[in-house]
Amino acid sequence: MNPFSPEPLLQRMLQIDAELIEPSASKEAKHFMEFGECGLAYDVLVFEIEDKKYMPSTEGLELIKQSAIALGLVFPQLSTS
């Protein structure tokens, strides 16, 4: 396994924030990861955050930011309003 892979980071985030994420979004993200599509799983989760359907815990937010780095992406700036 690639030590810089986003998959373990995303899996851990889904475990930590299981009660905070809508079941359909969690299921969709897990489905994408089963097929090695971590970028799509990341997109699902970021969309949930931006749409204010998922307010990550501090640890969950840190893990998704680390996932962005592992994917070569920049985590979007979140609005505070």
Give the other-Cβ count within 10 Å of 58's Cβ.
8
Alpha-carbon torsion (24, 33, 17, 80), positive or negative: negative
pLDDT attached to residue 62: 95
pLDDT attached to residue 56: 95
80: tokens are 């505070």
Task: Give pLDDT tens digits along the chain (81 positions).
Answer: 455 789 999 999 999 999 999 999 999 999 999 999 999 999 999 999 999 999 999 999 999 999 999 999 999 887 655
Query: Quick check: helix, strand or coil at residue 66?
Result: helix
pLDDT attached to residue 4: 74
